[in-house]
Amino acid sequence: MAETKPLIFNVQKFSVHDGPGIRTTIFFKGCPLACPWCHNPESQRFCGERMARDDGGWDDVGAYYPLAEVIRQAVQDQIFYERSGGGVTLSGGEVLAQPMDYVTALVQALAEKGISVGIDTSGAAPFTAFEQVLPYTDFFLYDMKLFDDERHRQYMGQGNRQILENMKALSDAGAVLYLRLIMVDGVNTDRDRDIQPFQEWLQAQQIRVETIHLLPYHELGRHKYQALQRPFQPFRAPSAQVLEGIRQSFAGLGYDTVIGG
Please say which residue, 53 or 218, places its beta carbon nearer to ligand SF4. 218
Helix (H) or strand (E) segment spanning residue 130: helix 127-133
Instruction: Give yes or no for residue 38 binding ligand SF4 (CB under 6 A).
Output: yes
Instruction: Give yes or no for residue 92 binding ligand SF4 (CB under 6 A).
Output: yes
Looking only at residues 136 through 175 of this chain, which bind ligand SF4 when binding is defined by CB under 6 A? none
Instruction: Give yes or no for residue 89 binding ligand SF4 (CB under 6 A).
Output: no
The rounded distance, in Å, linking the Cα atoms of 93 and 40 is: 8
In the set 93, 118, 216, 238, which binds ligand SF4 (CB under 6 A)? 93
Q: What is the CA radius of gyration of the chain?
A: 18
Decide: 215 and 258 in contact? Cβ < 8 Å.
no
Please say which residue, 33 or 71, places its beta carbon nearer to ligand SF4. 33
Instruction: Give yes or no for residue 122 binding ligand SF4 (CB under 6 A).
Output: yes
State how far the alpha carbon of 223 is from the alpha carbons of 17, 64, 203, 230, in Å: 21, 25, 39, 10
Q: Taking contact as CB under 6 A, which single stretch among the options 28-36, 56-64, 65-73, 245-253 is the one that binds ligand SF4? A: 28-36
Please say which residue, 31 or 228, places its beta carbon nearer to ligand SF4. 31
The rounded distance, in Å, linking the Cα atoms of 180 and 144 is: 6
Q: Would you give the distance in Å from CA 52 to the centre of its chain? A: 25
The rounded distance, in Å, linking the Cα atoms of 58 and 16 is: 29
Instruction: Give yes or no for residue 19 binding ligand SF4 (CB under 6 A).
Output: no
In the set 24, 25, 44, 257, which binds ligand SF4 (CB under 6 A)? 44
In the set 16, 34, 251, 253, which binds ligand SF4 (CB under 6 A)? 34
Decide: 7 and 23 in contact? Cβ < 8 Å.
no
Decide: 103 and 136 in contact? Cβ < 8 Å.
no
Residue 248's Cβ-count burial label (10 Å; 0-12, 13-18, 19+) is exposed
Instruction: Give yes or no for residue 35 binding ligand SF4 (CB under 6 A).
Output: yes
Q: Taking contact as CB under 6 A, which single stretch among the options 40-48, 65-73, 160-168, 240-248 is the one that binds ligand SF4? A: 40-48
Looking only at residues 192 through 221 of this chain, which bind ligand SF4 when binding is defined by CB under 6 A? none
How far is the first Cα of the chain from the last one, in angstroms, to the nearest whole number?
30
Q: Taking contact as CB under 6 A, which single stretch among the options 6-14, 15-23, 89-97, 228-236 is the one that binds ligand SF4? A: 89-97
What is the binding site for ligand SF4 (CB under 6 A)?
31, 33-35, 38, 40, 43-44, 92-94, 122
